[in-house]
Structure 1
């Protein structure tokens, strides 16, 4: 899937489904899509898509220490796309790790 064609509308129907982060062709970790938000006010004029973020969650105990970087993302319906940068963000629940992908 061409990363330039991705939009929030593609991911919204897949809320609650699993996405795998691949590193060197192997599954590094699997997370659940918890939120996908559009940011029209944060979108640069003339861009093809509205800026959006994906928040992915997993139990804290299932997330390795090296939990940020560039990954290929795999979904059973959407296929693979990337590489994209995935970064850890603050979680409001200590037992849940939250990672974010930003598309702008």
Structure 2
């Protein structure tokens, strides 16, 4: 399944918390990640938007993420399919175990 980004919602991803996903970067490199957080942000939602703004936080071991760039990528999941291109940026892994890397994808 490949869905238009404008149709995605937190409700699609929330049941997959803790499950394996993959980020495929512009260079073709794939990074195995786990969906660690899926949070809606009603106060950040654009007026008239058809969906509530939300973000995803994806984690992996920091050594696996070494050299994986921020930027446009494709997010994929075995059951949900592929989504993208979308922008994934590396963030500080606050609240995750030492040695973790975290990437955030924001949908507004």
Residue 79 of structure 2 corresponds to which residue in structure 1? 77
> Which residue of structure 2 lines up, in the alignment, with residue 17 of structure 1?
19
Q: TM-score, normalised by structure 2?
A: 0.89
Please give the per-residue CA displacement for 1:18-45, whole angstroms capped at 9, x wherever unaligned: 1111235945201000000000011111
SS of residue matched to 1:87:
strand
SS of 1:80's equivalent? strand
**TM-score, normalisation: structure 1:** 0.92
Question: 4+ residue runs of structure 1 moved beyond 4 angstroms?
Answer: 24-27
Distance in 2 between the 1:31 and 1:14 partners? 12
Q: Which runs of 5+ in 1 are unaligned?
A: none
Name the residue aligned to 1:96.
100
CA RMSD of aligned residues (A): 1.5
Where in structure 2 are the equivalents of 1:32-47 lying within 5 Å? 32-47=34-49
Structure 2, unaligned runs of 5 or more: none
Deviations 1:26-82 (A, max 9, x none): 452010000000000111110011000000000111113233110011100100111
CA offsets 1:2-23 (integer angstroms, 9 cap, x no match): 1111000000000001111123
| Structure with greater strand percent | 1
Q: Answer whether contact 1:60 1:96 (CA < 8 A) is retained.
A: yes
How far apart, in 2, do the equivalents of 1:89 and 1:46 lie? Answer: 29
8 Å contact 2:57–2:104 — kept in the other structure?
A: yes
